[in-house]
Every structure is written in C-alpha cells, then in structure tokens.
Amino acid sequence: MAMIVVAAYDVRADERRSRIAATLQAWGDRIQKSVFVLDISSEDLDELCSRIGAVMDPDEDSFYVFTQCGTCWSSTRCIGQANKPEQTLYWLAL
C-alpha cells in the first residue's frame, strides 16, 4: 500500500548531491531544493533508501524520511508560493 513521505537530504559533495536528487526526482516531487514528497509503497521506500545509502557518505551526509499519515497530510498548510503536490490516481487495465 502506498504512503506519503517527505524525504530531505543534506549532502556535502556536488556529485553525490546530484545523484541523490536525480534518484528522488524519479520517485516523487521536489518541493524545495533538497526536499521531496513521495507517494511510495513500503517496499519501494526500502529500495529507495538502499539506493540513497549506496550513494551517500554517512560521515558527511544525512538523509531523512518522514512518514505522513492521511490525517497529517490532509491538514498540511501551504503559504505563499508553496503548493501541496496533488495525489495522482493511476488506473490499471488488465
């Protein structure tokens, strides 16, 4: 089952930062330079964290994942230019 998470990073080296940003961009929406919102399954989140962990330097970099419950996400406040990313519905035809 998919869940909404907020992922944020602080990465020192430009090359690692670019690789991590590209990885996160493939999985979700960028809402700040180093903050992404992801609509992701727990299995895919495990895979994503594994990929991020393989790129980052744990002595210099940090990566955070904050899980949002449905109630928390629906009460998110956006001010000014901020826009809460829309949840996209996907249909599968078999």
Q: Which of 5-44 are b and which e, b meaning 16 or more Cβ less than 10 Å from the residue's Cβ?
A: bbbbbebeeeebbebbbebbeebbbebeebebbbbbeeee
Please tell me whether 10 is known to bind a ligand.
Answer: yes
Residues making up the annotated binding site are 10
Pick out the residues of the known binding site for Mg(2+). Answer: 10
